[in-house]
Amino acid sequence: MSGLEGLEKPLATLAFCWRLERRDGVTIGLTSHDRDLEIGHIRYRAAPGMMPSAIHSRITAEGGDTDVEGALVADAISERDLMAGRWDGAALELRLTEWEAPGVLWLLLARGEIGSVACRGGAFTAELVGAMAALKAPVAPSTSPDCRAQLGDAQCRVDMAGRRRIVAVTGVEDAVVSVAGLTAGAYGYGSLRWLTGANGGMVQAIIDNGEDALTLADAPHFAVEAGTMALLTEGCDRQLGSCATRFGNAANFRGEPYLPGTDLLTRYPGA
């Protein structure tokens, strides 16, 4: 029963269920009921702080569709993980069911991705970004001298086979990660995904690299022990010269490097 049939009964035993799936695949379920519910091989844990009154709709084109508030569940949603960004971009579904027959009524109320998150006094507020966010996207891309594609995506079409590498980290000092046997500059503007350790599953941007170290845009959120495994992905500076010489991919360059910019208006003879 996925429609409204269950709501027509004279007495309904309703409960809200929240399903959250992080980008690293970790999935949890929460329910407003006072005991755990098993639905579709997922245990929806009792979280009384996640009440219907915690949902505030504000469907506008300027912001997210919905704000979601709730109490922090220590071993499921912790303030430490929220502030580290583990839940950023996580997929969220809010459904209505009956706790006497979990899953028989399974009515979808809201769906989207978690946007900005704030924590205060043992509780959190998360923005649920829904379909309205698509209206903010530009109809046509703006011109730019740099490439607008991401390395290896459908527009770029560079084969990423051989451009990813699993490494063992030997040490970390602030935002500098020690890794031996690298090709200088190969991973600049690329990414590092932590595979093990306290930062497991988190992705960080790489600014540049030498032969034995990487410089990240930000220091890791949690301590990194020697021997921690990470996945390195090469990056691109989005310049036509790099696209042509390093990747042999000038035909797919998504930019306008020779288009005159606004500085053309300030030029004068003899400048």
Q: Is the pTM of this model over 0.95?
A: no
pLDDT at 61: 39
User: Tens place of pLDDT for every residue, the chain, 271 residues?
Assistant: 545 665 667 777 888 888 888 888 888 898 888 899 999 889 998 876 565 545 545 444 344 455 565 555 546 677 778 777 888 888 888 888 988 889 888 988 878 888 777 776 666 677 777 666 666 777 777 888 999 999 999 999 999 999 999 999 999 999 999 999 999 999 999 999 999 998 988 899 999 999 999 999 999 999 999 999 999 999 999 999 999 999 999 999 999 998 887 766 666 666 5
Residues 6+ apart with CB under 8 A from 173: none
pLDDT at 53: 46
pLDDT at 62: 42
pLDDT at 128: 72
pLDDT at 60: 42
Closest CA to 87 of 49, 34, 58, 125: 125
Strand 27-31 versus strand 37-39 pairing type = unpaired
In the chain, what are the domains? Answer: 5-134 (2.30.110), 164-234 (2.40.10.170)
Closest CA to 79 of 209, 181, 187, 221: 221
28 within 8 A of 77, measured Cβ to Cβ: yes
pLDDT at 155: 93
